[in-house]
């Protein structure tokens, strides 16, 4: 059905209407992730009063994603840009994970062992060096 719809609409110079479903799906999935991360209710099965953060994020994400689509923003460049941001913030987040995972008061008997510490701090160092190298070499061009 989707293929027929896409073929018929493209014959008339119209965009594939099924392709437009990606914006609300991505907005909803991001809203689920962020709401769940900060332990707030989420999901379309909840009312707006039960999950106001979730619905607020969907309400901002859907028009935001639609605007990016309408402005012809290159989605691949946007994905690369987001991946770079994730890579840059990875080192500080890994340091936090290492500090928490070595705190005996928080972790009890489950603190990191020697191998986990070596690999974890080595990963932190590699990510930090990669972030510095990215900016030292002029970063990426869009």
The end-to-end CA distance of the chain, in Å, is: 37
Q: Is the pLDDT of residue 7 over 70?
A: no
- Tell me the C-alpha distance between 109 and 119, whole Å: 19
- Same domain for 67 and 78, yes or no, is no
Nearest-angstrom CA–CA distance, 70 and 104: 51
Co-location of 89 and 65 in the same domain: no
Are 63 and 128 in a shared domain? no
Give me the count of residues in the chain. 142
> Residue 70 in contact with residue 78, Cβ under 8 Å?
no
Looking at 52, 73, 94, the residue that finishes a domain is: 73
Q: Are residues 2 and 65 in the same domain?
A: yes
Residues 50 and 90 in one domain: no
Give the tokens for residue 67: 């605007």
Query: What's this model's pTM, rounded to 2 decimal places?
Result: 0.60
Encode pLDDT of 60-80 as tens digits: 988 888 888 788 888 788 888
What backbone phi and psi angles, to 5 degrees, belong to 36? -65, -35
pLDDT: which is higher, 109 or 20: 109
């Amino acid at each position: 059905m989707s293929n027929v719809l896409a073929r018929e609409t493209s014959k008339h110079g119209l965009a594939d209407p099924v392709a437009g479903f990606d914006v609300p799906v991505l907005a909803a999935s991001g809203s689920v992730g962020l709401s769940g991360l900060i332990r707030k209710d989420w999901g379309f099965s909840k009312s707006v009063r039960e999950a106001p953060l979730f619905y607020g994020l969907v309400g901002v994400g859907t028009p935001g994603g639609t605007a990016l689509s309408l402005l012809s923003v290159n989605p691949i460049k946007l994905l690369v840009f987001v991946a770079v941001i994730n890579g840059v913030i990875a080192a500080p987040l890994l340091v936090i994970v290492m500090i928490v995972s070595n705190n005996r008061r928080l972790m009890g008997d489950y603190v990191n062992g020697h191998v986990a510490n070596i690999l974890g701090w080595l990963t932190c160092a590699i990510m930090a060096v990669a972030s510095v190298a990215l900016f030292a070499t002029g970063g990426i061009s869009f």
